Amino acid sequence: MTTIASNIFNILTEEIISGLLKPGTKLEEIALATRFKVSRTPIREVLRDLAAKGLVQLVPRKGVLVAKIGIDELSDMLEAECELEALCAQIAAHRMSLLEKKQLERVHELADQVVKKSDANAYLELNKKFHNLICLGTHNQLLNEIVGNLRSRLSGFRQAQSKTEKRLQTSHQEHQLILEAILNSDAKAAFESMRSHNARLSSKVVEQLSNSKSR
């Protein structure tokens, strides 16, 4: 996704999850292109990605409508992702090679630089690489695919937290604990650090969605 499309995706995702865009609201390409002062090409890209994440749905003869998000289903997905990725960290702590650990450490160092610049988009890309490297470090293709699919489906919800205070700093500090555990081959600490990291993010997502539905 291009930077322009990514920015629009993040804005619309936050508006959907916060309740600013109500379920059933129609999203029209021309109106969105006018609003964001872009062509319809990135808008189509954004709408496709929103649909893939379950945030909008294509309804025959009605167009693209904001989807109704079920909190129970979302909570189940977040719980599964939380536990499975913690398992990935635990396994990776034993199985990652020295080279793989160095790659993980390098991504974390790059993230430290973008956090200091408060560059959210750059951090999100490095965050994705950080988590992907850990999943790949399990050397378990099936587990990697399952967690990758869950992370992809939940990415929109996790990114819609721009108003969270010190969001990047907190995430980066938690990554530091995960990194240290993996570098030290401490499987238990890796599991607990990753589980705590994802549980905090998950609770924020559910809280935000619950607040939007109570308005």
Per residue in 117-142, pLDDT (tens digit) is 999 889 989 999 999 999 999 999 99
- For residue 94, the model assigns a pLDDT of 96
Do 111 and 170 belong together in one domain?
yes
Q: Are 137 and 102 in contact (CB under 8 A)?
A: no
Q: Are 206 and 71 in contact (CB under 8 A)?
A: yes
What are 65-75's pLDDT values in tens digits? Answer: 999 877 888 88
How far, in Å, CA of 31 to CA of 112, rounded?
A: 38
- Tokens standing for 41? 């090409």
Q: Is the pLDDT of residue 215 over 70?
A: no
Q: Break the chain down into helix, strand, coil percent, rounded to 5.
A: 75, 5, 20
Do 18 and 98 belong together in one domain?
no
Q: Is the pLDDT of residue 210 over 80?
A: no
Q: Are 66 and 28 in contact (CB under 8 A)?
A: no
Do 76 and 38 belong together in one domain?
no
CATH number, residue 102: 1.20.120.530
Do 77 and 51 belong together in one domain?
no
Owning domain of residue 43: 3-66
CATH number, residue 17: 1.10.10.10
Which amino acid is present at 65? L
Checking DSSP bridges between strand 63-66 and strand 56-59, what pairing results, if any?
antiparallel
Do 61 and 21 belong together in one domain?
yes
At residue 174, φ and ψ (nearest 5 deg) are -70, -35
Mean pLDDT of the chain: 90
What are 9-59's pLDDT values in tens digits? Answer: 989 988 888 788 999 999 999 999 999 999 999 999 999 999 988 889 989
pTM of the model: 0.78
Do 93 and 197 belong together in one domain?
yes
DSSP-assigned letter for residue 68:
P
Calculated CA dihedral for residues 84, 88, 89, 93, nearest 10 degrees: 150
